[in-house]
Amino acid sequence: MLDEQSDIVAGSKIASSLQKEIEEVLQLAHRFKEEVVLPNFSQYDLHVFKDLDWLPEEFLKRAAAFGLFTLWLPKIFGGKGYSPQTMALFNEEIASVCLGMANIIAVHYLGITIVSVTSNFKLLNTICQEVVRAEKLGGFPCLVSVAATEPDAGTDVEELELIDRGTLICKAIKKEGGYLLSGTKSFISNGHFSTWHIVTAYADLKRPSQTPVLLAVKKGTMGFSLGKIERKMGQKVCPTGELIFDNCFVKDEHLCLDLSALKMAKGAREVNAILLNDILSLSRVGVGAFGAGMARGAYQCALDYAKKEYLGKERAIDVEWVQSILASMLQNFLGAKSAYFQAMRLNAKVGPFASMQNPIVYRLLKWLPSSLQQRVLLPILSTSSVMARALSDRIKKADPFYCHQTSLWASHAKTLGADLAVKNCQLAIELMGKIGLRHDAKIEKLLRDAKLLQIYEGPNQINRLNLFYSSMKMAGEKVKEYDS
């Protein structure tokens, strides 16, 4: 429907290499969908209806066997080094059938992304090497989760202007040799089967926007336990639950970043704003890709129905009012896809990993053997001075205009993708009638899954406000933000 290769590589100086990667990833996505997702998505959904605490262990092992948890890890850290841009296409393809399965894989890489954004390459290597080793051994994979939201602070932790208003309880107190972590994290996807958890806590709960502490907490750490699994409406195959920290001691070597301890020209709050924007501008594009996939999946369900059902003596697909509905659904899918493509291209150009699009850097990381990168480049990257310099350079080079621009397009892709996914599911059910309400018709599950897109990575209402605020900042206008 859209030419993924030409759309993504347009204007790129690494077009030929990236095009080959896109082709390989799309082929892999199609094969994984045919062999793993389509045969199992319906029964997995029913499993959770019958057993609310059921975990998709078989799916995790199959995904690991396909190499999906290392495919987008940089080669320098033992992964296969595929471009992050290709992952959005993979997400879209899998989400067109089962958003829960797609989310399990995407959340893992969000955790990796957060550590990457902090420029803590030494810790990143530790985590990635465990992921790679687990894949080579077979069996249960090593995954990463992201623990940011709290029982009474969901959206608050994702918007700088709201953090200080939130009711936060997760605190990290500096001790000799590490941090004492206390508090509860809620609605954590993958939390109940991940090995590593990237936890956001705060050194001072009265000034959270200025004192975030990011810690990597490993499964089995004393003082860390799992709480309840949430009873969700959709995306049931991807469990969402509580993580509980009761005086959990996290060693210094597992510290991603302590903003209050950094010495930079820009203040801690301003640095926090840049890092939050980097992370959310990437993660919200992923949600946009999910939405496009779901919009396509709903359109395909409706199209298949219209091809085989008859209205009187005519096939439904030959009736004009049915064609009008299908045309609107197709247009919704294309709109959602165009939005996340634009946001993705912008991130690649000016986002936190823009340097990877430099032809020399790209080819060096792509074609230099992994063993050589780990032997020569990794020891240099892992020194304290280089890691500090990398973070400092990112903060200095973060142009405010481009930060607002990437934030605007990411929120646009997220809200549009989520809303159009829901709209297409509703249109499909209207077209299919009572048949669309049956579990085996697929579409009711797609709608349950799609509704959650309007909530996570900031609810759509907040993202719309962020889109507007970003546009005002780009225009040099000052307006009150979240004044309610």
Per-residue pLDDT of the chain (484 residues; tens, 9 = 90+): 545 554 555 445 556 778 889 999 999 999 999 999 999 999 999 999 999 899 999 999 999 999 999 999 999 999 999 998 899 999 999 999 999 999 999 999 999 999 999 999 999 999 999 999 999 999 899 999 999 999 998 888 888 889 999 899 999 999 999 999 999 999 999 999 999 999 999 999 999 999 999 999 999 999 999 999 999 999 999 999 999 999 999 999 999 999 988 877 678 999 999 999 999 999 999 999 999 999 999 999 999 999 999 999 999 999 999 999 999 999 999 999 999 999 999 999 998 888 887 788 888 888 889 999 999 999 999 999 999 999 999 998 899 999 999 999 999 999 999 999 999 999 999 999 999 999 988 999 999 999 999 998 999 999 999 999 999 999 999 999 988 6
CA distance 237 to 56: 6
Identify the pLDDT of residue 8.
52
DSSP, collapsed to helix, strand or coil, labels residue 357 as: helix
Q: Closest by alpha carbon to 215, among 223, 308, 78?
A: 223
The confidence score (pLDDT) of residue 17 equals 78
Domains, in order of start, for the chain = 4-139+271-474 (1.20.140.10), 144-265 (2.40.110.10)
How far, in Å, CA of 295 to CA of 447, rounded? 10
CA nearest to 66, candidates 21, 19, 34:
34
**Residue 453, both tokens:** 């897109």
Q: What CA–CA distances, in Å, run from 296 to 98, 421, 464?
A: 12, 8, 23
pLDDT of residue 36: 98
For residue 155, the model assigns a pLDDT of 83
390: nearest Cα among 355, 360, 344: 355
| Radius of gyration of the chain from its Cα atoms, rounded to whole angstroms | 22
Element (H, E) at 163: helix 160-163
Q: How many whole angstroms separate alpha carbon 48 and alpha carbon 55?
A: 8
CA distance 358 to 356: 5
pLDDT of residue 364: 83
Render 235-267 in DSSP notation, one character per residue. -TTS-EEEEEEEEEEEEGGGEEEEGGG---SS-
pLDDT of residue 361: 83
Pairing of strands 314-315, 310-311: antiparallel
Which structure tokens are listed for 252? 């210094």
Token pair 């546009």 is found at 471
What's the pTM?
A: 0.94
Q: How far apart are CA 74 and CA 132, in angstroms?
A: 11
Beta strands 240-251; 255-258: pairing state:
unpaired
- Would you say how long the chain is, in residues? 484
